[in-house]
Structure 1
Amino acid sequence: MNEYRIKGLSCAGCAQRIEDEIKGLQHGQDAKLSYNSGKLTLSSDVSMAEVKRILKSDGAYIANAHDHDHSGEHGDHHGHDHSHAEGNSRMLMLLIGSGVIYAAALLLEGVLDQQALILLFLLATVISGYTTFIRGLKNLFKLVFNIDTLMTIALIGAIAIGEWKEATLVAILFGLNELLEGYGMEKARRSMETLLQVAPKEAIKLEQGQELIVPIASLQVGDLVKIKPGEKIPSDGVVSDGRSSVNEAAITGESLPVEKESGEPVYGGSINNEGMLIVRIEKAYKDSSLAKILHLVQEAQETKTPTELFINKFAKYYTPLIMLIAAIVMVVPPLFFQGEWMGSLYQGLSVLIVGCPCALILSSPIAIVSGITRTARNGILVKGGVFLEQLGKIDTLAFDKTGTLTKGEPHVAQIEVYDEKRFFSIAGAIESTSSHPLAKAIMKEVKRKGVTLPVTDEIKTLSGSGIQARIDGQPYWLGNEKSIGHLSIPDSVQARINQMKEDGLTLVLVADDQYVLGLFGIADEIREESRAVIASLHQLGIKHTVMLTGDHPKTAEKVAAAVGVSDYYGGLLPEDKVNRVKELSTQGTVAMIGDGINDAPALASAQLGIAMGKGTDSAIETADIVLMQDHLGKLPEAVSVAKRVNRIIKFNIIVALGLKVIALLLTIPGWLTLWIAILSDMGATIFVTLVSLTILIDSKSLRKN
């Protein structure tokens, strides 16, 4: 399949019609044209001469081309293209010329004779409206009724009844409407393209002591690359040498730089700030985080939401209905109510112009593209407009615990010491030999105490209970309750053990051959932002927040209370999580968020799956939305943007239809004129475009400024 960037698409309806015509060509059945992204995908077997002919008949053209099979070479796909700017500039110049001629004709009224005035009006009409007129005539002969067809009929009718002045104004205002409509969609697309330009094109590869400048697509796993200060890291890898801070905003949306040194992972597309770094490539570019982000964002533009699909279907029946209403307005008053034919004909032509569904069709796509772009800037990847719309509708959010609400890293939550002199030093001496996560948590606490560690003479692992060691000739035990089975535990110590277990803590006990020296109560550390995130989600209208975990119910209860979720379920297997999600789905619209491979089934079964970006590949592949941060901090903003997009789309639809209804009602007293009709259509189009583009504006940054 080949991909082509298309310019000159005047509306979503035109894009759909072009797609249908291309599908009718030989080998064209799989063709797909997205108005939102301006991208045409089709088989290499399709006749390009025929495709260009179809595009040209609608005033569209191929701006640049690239082959889908070379999708690894993203750097070549997003070079800035000025063709759209040239097209808009040309249209603007034509409109200015037309406007000057129209103004001159108005000023010279009464000076020039009627024929000269008509010639000026006709010239102004042709300059600003000839492209619409040609397209409309072609559609009329094909019996295709769309915006261009309606405008062409209206222009012919206005000229036929001698309304030269208003016919010219209609042509100019419609041309201006198309120009502004194009600017609006182009602004949304340009914002998206700017986002996609984060991919570096080349890298400095180190090979046998030589520095070679190579395309990033040629980099292989294991290659060493040199990144100078201010340069972009070409692909995911690990720092082999050097130290610097790295700006990962393009990937995670986090503005603060992250310190990197030898052994630290780095993302492709992030920017090296001040030091020199040598990075060992861990993933070929096409498999890197950045390539996945660019691919997901591009794909996201091309999916249609249920609202868009409904509007397109509605517009399909709406245009013929408007033509029927216009015919009734033209014919019924003169035939049955002694109305004037010329007046009724004029009113009917005005109805045709009011019927242009520009604003209605535009009410959704600009808002959707703006919303996807805005969330992507924050490191939140929405895989399609349908998922953005769904995110704005959720009322229940289910969370995995480990790695989502918690860090997935054990830490010492409580300590009970009975022998201050030996407890920390013995625990440190034994655990220093282990790489177990619990050992790491204990060692962090021991180091914080700054105690000197003795040398272990002998160490032995006890299956299912812990470790036995000999230090300075004396035996010691470290582990769970089974490891101290040789002791008679005092009631006070047993009571403390029971209390810590009740608190949902994992216990590590240290003892010699006679006494318990102390206890470590270990828990999965709760993320600092979790409670604030849950509170923000509740404020945004998420009625039900649920935690699903495989951990012990007591641990689940403690974490749930700490973070503020409205409900929790513990001791769940992956299939149990799926069943809970399905159960919740019967009560509302459910999103599931998780980071582990065991969360993938639940993510897939939820109406909306959200994955933590630093989680497993399977969770990211399964999810509909990906948070590229290693925390939930940006989730409330994503929900807020999604809700705002949905509100704006509804508002746009109400405005678009409302203005048309008001204009149509003006036909009853006979007040509707051609220029009022075009102004109502143009006003609605400009309004919905500007309102949709406000989604791109970050209100927080505005407040800071």
Structure 2
Amino acid sequence: MAEERKKEECCSGHQCGSEHTHAGKILTVLEPAAAEPESAGILSSQAVVYRVTGMDCSSCAKSLEKHMQTLPAVKEVNVNFSTGKMQLVADGLGEDAVVKEVAKAGYSAMLLTRGTAKAVPKTDQAGTALTTISGVLLALGFLGSLLPSISPLVVTVLYALSIMSGGYRPARSAFYSIKSGSLDMNVLMSVAAVGAALIGEWLEGATVVWLFSIGTLLQTKSIEKTRDSIRNLMDLAPPEAWVKEGESLSRKPVEDIAVGQVIVVKPGEKIPLDGVIVHGTSSVNQAPITGESIPVDKLVGDSVFAGSVNESGAVEIKVTKLVEDTAIARIIHLVEEAQEKKAPTQAFVDKFATIYTPIVLVLALLVIVFPPLLGLGTWGEWFYRALELLVVACPCALVISTPVAIVSAIGNAARNGVLIKGGTFLEKAGAITAIAFDKTGTLTEGKPQVAAVIEMEGSEDEVVSIARTIEERSSHPIAQAILTYAKQKQIASQSGQDFKAIVGKGASAVIGTETFYAGKPALFQELGVDLSAWQMKIESLQSEGNTLVVIGTATKLIGMIAVADTIREITVSAIGKLKAAGIEDIVMLTGDNEGTAKKVASQTGVNRYFAELLPQDKVEAVKRLQQEGKVVAMVGDGINDAPALASADLGIAMGGAGTDTAMETADIVLMADNLEKLPHTMKVSRKALSIIKQNIWFSIIVKLVALVLIFPGYLTLWLAVLSDTGAALLVILNSMRLLRMKD
């Protein structure tokens, strides 16, 4: 109770509510751009959003962005590779015109509106067909070259047709890339293919084009699969609902249903919109939203979320959120926004790539010119090696190594009821060495329960019966705990009258002809009752974190009821899993006394605790852990613990599914109000960091090996292409392992 009062003081002293954020400072949630510098690429609400397919590398996104910027009508444009979206602010540029311009650059676009948000882009059948034709022509040309009866001219024509069919789209994209001042993989591959043809290496040129086409298709499909891991969440909520109007039911699209209307959901159906149950009871599976594996019983007045499944009884639900404002819609929006934010590693790799590619291009020109001048070989030999160098120059695998892993990890977490706000926070979570927990409502239920009943003169039933009679009219949490206990034990109340509340001390009632009291020990001291015989017992119970309700009259004690907060069922196992995951320090921060803190610490398995803390003391405790060299995560409710959450390296809020503020304030949000998914979050984050490192090192080593093999003449042009596209594909597949990672 002391801790709760201190939390209330925190709110009044630190402006709790929607003004807390997690950038280490206090900002309003209405200014996300200020709170998150990473999101600067996200345009204003005036932007029209298109879904773009066919981008298999972040350089593709940059090329498309530059191409769109060359159009006079375009005011602002932001193309994001991770989510496959293009945000556009343009005057007088219609949807058809935008789609055509995107197609010129080699990609497909579809306008996203409320009605098409769930639509899935069509498969790139044209690209698949051209790649297939190119492969067939390449095979025919190769077989023809083995037969003496086939003219070399026919073989050359077959190779040329293979290059033209497979290279049409890359060449078109290369043209618009050069026009917009970009040098992407399409440009390098086109130059390599044309160069191979110019020096008579038609088989090499055709093989380069076909391998590049195959690699591009596979990469695109793999990346779309990672993006769909979040988009598929949209399909969880049904598109229509049964609306109750009077006594009649009518089927309506969810887009046409307003706040305040009543919808009916039958057993086995998915709940279409967020709302509150106004009639009926049921068991609801909330796993898609909160990650909870066990269905939750829902009664009248309880909130339900779109996308969850009504498993038993029919219920009537009063709609509280429009379709675009539901919890699942907010989750999808925040996750996709998070996937657009670059992690520090990704930002570094992108900067490295922008320097690396021009350097290798200059090196390729030097390779063409200087060795032949120095008499170290023919112009043809070094021109061929320069082409190989151009192919190797594209750092596609390196650039793609981080964003796909981040998208996959954030997507996995979201499907398990954890919202990670961006790549930066994913990386931080993977580096955490200490976790600090608020006690009340985080490690404990935050709801007092009867821990013990001590009889002095009466029986247990008599003590509880009198306490229930006195407390029945009170809404105080401790009174409610006693009433709940009495109901569970089936102990009835007695006939009472003249009920009175004694402010700050307890309550009284006349039962029969005698006045009975229920309250603090101090109340009975004021009444003149001798407590000396029970003083040691009272102090012992209080030191263990119990709040005592003494029952008696003005002359004698009948008994005492000890009430205490209880440990959450999941807390002990969650802390055990965190330790197993390698978290060095599990720390508890509480405003309660030393005795209570020690008891809870021993019951939960935390390593250390800081007791009797005011809100500002919790901040100091977090800083103390940081001074010890720890990377600290703070877990709280996202509002009351805001000062400590902001001071920590990572702020984790609980119960975000029902709280808009919690979803806005923390770096990571556990959608369910328990710690069950926190160990999984740590595991996913650490695995993501490991995979990112694997991808980066693998990409660099492949490039270095390819570069070394060029100059002795061991590397052929088609092997150079295979090393590049193969490395990129392996990096993507390695990152996609995060999608399948389970608890």
Distance (Å, rounded) in 1 between the aligned partners of 2:256 and 2:639: 31
Q: Which residue of 2 aligns with 1:128?
A: 166
Q: Which residue of 1 aligns with 2:107?
A: 60
- TM-score, L = length of structure 2: 0.88
Distance (Å, rounded) in 2 between the aligned partners of 1:162 and 1:420: 106
Tell me by how many angstroms 1:361 deviates: 1.7
Secondary structure in 1 matching 2:236:
coil
Does the 8 Å CA contact 1:26/1:46 hold for their aligned counterparts? no
Q: Which residue of 2 aligns with 1:69?
A: none
Matching residue's letter, 1:604: A
- Higher mean displacement: 459-468 or 628-637: 459-468
Q: Which residue of 2 aligns with 1:466?
A: 506
Distance 1:354 1:585, change over 3 A: same
Please tell me whether residue 98 in structure 1 is matched to residue 134 in structure 2.
Answer: yes
Matching residue's letter, 2:593: H
Distance 1:215 1:175, change over 3 A: same
Please tell me whether residue 430 in structure 1 is matched to residue 470 in structure 2.
Answer: yes
Please tell me whether residue 638 in structure 1 is matched to residue 676 in structure 2.
Answer: no
Distance (Å, rounded) in 2 between the aligned partners of 1:190 and 1:616: 26
Q: Deviations over 1:341-376 (max 9, x none)?
A: 322222221121122222112212222221121111
2:453 equivalent among 415, 423, 429: 415
Distance (Å, rounded) in 2 between the aligned partners of 1:192 and 1:444: 42
Distance (Å, rounded) in 2 between the aligned partners of 1:143 and 1:292: 37
Q: Deviations over 1:601-656 (max 9, x none)?
A: 33334332211125754333211221111210011111111111111111111111
1:368 equivalent among 399, 406, 415: 406
- Higher mean displacement: 531-540 or 433-442: 531-540
Tell me by how many angstroms 1:312 deviates: 1.6
Distance 1:279 1:139, change over 3 A: closer
Distance (Å, rounded) in 2 between the aligned partners of 1:281 and 1:113: 75
Distance (Å, rounded) in 2 between the aligned partners of 1:135 and 1:252: 43
Distance (Å, rounded) in 2 between the aligned partners of 1:619 and 1:244: 27
Distance 1:29 1:533, change over 3 A: farther
Q: Which residue of 1 aligns with 2:636?
A: 594
Does the 8 Å CA contact 1:574/1:601 hold for their aligned counterparts? yes
Q: Which residue of 1 aligns with 2:600?
A: 559
Matching residue's letter, 1:519: M
Q: Which residue of 1 aligns with 2:388?
A: 350
Matching residue's letter, 1:424: V
- Higher mean displacement: 483-492 or 10-19: 483-492
Distance 1:602 1:616, change over 3 A: farther
Tell me by how many angstroms 1:46 deviates: 6.0
Matching residue's letter, 1:14: C
Distance (Å, rounded) in 2 between the aligned partners of 1:218 and 1:605: 44
Distance (Å, rounded) in 2 between the aligned partners of 1:470 and 1:140: 92
Distance (Å, rounded) in 1 between the aligned partners of 2:286 and 2:479: 31
Does the 8 Å CA contact 2:638/2:666 hold for their aligned counterparts? no
Please tell me whether residue 687 in structure 1 is matched to residue 730 in structure 2.
Answer: yes
Tell me by how many angstroms 1:236 deviates: 2.6
Instruction: Please list, as runs of the form range in 1=range in 2, the aligned pairs for 1:396-545 lying within 5 A after superposition.
Output: 396-421=434-459, 422-485=462-525, 486-545=527-586
Distance (Å, rounded) in 2 between the aligned partners of 1:137 and 1:285: 43
Secondary structure in 2 matching 1:403:
helix
Percent of residue pairs bearing the same amino acid type: 40
Distance 1:288 1:552, change over 3 A: farther
Secondary structure in 2 matching 1:63:
strand
Does the 8 Å CA contact 1:457/1:473 hold for their aligned counterparts? no
Q: Which residue of 2 aligns with 1:612?
A: 654
Q: Deviations over 1:210-260 (max 9, x none)?
A: 323333344444322111223222333222222332221221112332233
Please tell me whether residue 651 in structure 1 is matched to residue 689 in structure 2.
Answer: no
Please tell me whether residue 169 in structure 1 is matched to residue 169 in structure 2.
Answer: no
Q: Which residue of 2 aligns with 1:571?
A: 612
Tell me by how many angstroms 1:26 deviates: 5.2
- Higher mean displacement: 37-46 or 132-141: 132-141
Q: Deviations over 1:364-411 (max 9, x none)?
A: 222222112111111111222332222222222222111111111101
Tell me by how many angstroms 1:568 deviates: 2.2
Secondary structure in 1 matching 2:83:
coil
Does the 8 Å CA contact 1:360/1:652 hold for their aligned counterparts? yes
Q: Which residue of 2 aligns with 1:674?
A: 717
Distance 1:238 1:33, change over 3 A: same
Does the 8 Å CA contact 2:231/2:332 hold for their aligned counterparts? no
2:275 equivalent among 229, 237, 246: 237
Distance (Å, rounded) in 2 between the aligned partners of 1:574 and 1:77: 47
Q: Which residue of 2 aligns with 1:3?
A: 49
Tell me by how many angstroms 1:23 deviates: 4.5
Distance (Å, rounded) in 1 between the aligned partners of 2:490 and 2:513: 24
Distance 1:352 1:383, change over 3 A: same
Q: Deviations over 1:435-464 (max 9, x none)?
A: 211011112222333333211132211122
Distance 1:254 1:601, change over 3 A: same
Does the 8 Å CA contact 2:70/2:180 hold for their aligned counterparts? no
Does the 8 Å CA contact 1:242/1:262 hold for their aligned counterparts? yes
- Higher mean displacement: 164-173 or 569-578: 569-578
Distance 1:581 1:360, change over 3 A: same
Distance 1:239 1:616, change over 3 A: closer
Secondary structure in 2 matching 1:666:
helix
Matching residue's letter, 1:63: M
Matching residue's letter, 1:166: E
Distance 1:229 1:425, change over 3 A: closer
Q: Which residue of 1 aligns with 2:222?
A: 184
Q: CA RMSD in A?
A: 2.3
Q: Which residue of 1 aligns with 2:117?
A: 78
Matching residue's letter, 1:465: K
Does the 8 Å CA contact 1:396/1:544 hold for their aligned counterparts? yes
Distance 1:257 1:554, change over 3 A: same
Distance 1:113 1:25, change over 3 A: closer
Matching residue's letter, 1:104: L
Matching residue's letter, 1:94: L
Distance (Å, rounded) in 1 between the aligned partners of 2:56 and 2:511: 82
Distance (Å, rounded) in 2 between the aligned partners of 1:419 and 1:221: 57
Distance (Å, rounded) in 2 between the aligned partners of 1:605 and 1:95: 54
Q: Deviations over 1:502-549 (max 9, x none)?
A: 112211111223322222222111111212212221222222222222
- Higher mean displacement: 120-129 or 26-35: 26-35
Secondary structure in 2 matching 1:144:
coil
Secondary structure in 2 matching 1:182:
helix
- Higher mean displacement: 300-309 or 564-573: 564-573
Secondary structure in 1 matching 2:640:
helix
Tell me by how many angstroms 1:137 deviates: 4.2
Structure 2 residues without counterparts, runs of 5 or longer = 1-45
Secondary structure in 1 matching 2:169:
helix
Structure 1 residues without counterparts, runs of 5 or longer = 67-72, 701-705
Does the 8 Å CA contact 2:398/2:696 hold for their aligned counterparts? yes
- Higher mean displacement: 132-141 or 618-627: 132-141
- Structure ranking higher on relative contact order (CA contacts 8 Å, 6+ apart): 2
Tell me by how many angstroms 1:127 deviates: 0.9
Matching residue's letter, 2:105: D
Matching residue's letter, 1:612: M
Does the 8 Å CA contact 2:639/2:662 hold for their aligned counterparts? yes
Number of matched pairs: 689
Does the 8 Å CA contact 1:373/1:696 hold for their aligned counterparts? yes
Distance (Å, rounded) in 2 between the aligned partners of 1:690 and 1:171: 22
Q: Which residue of 2 aligns with 1:298?
A: 336
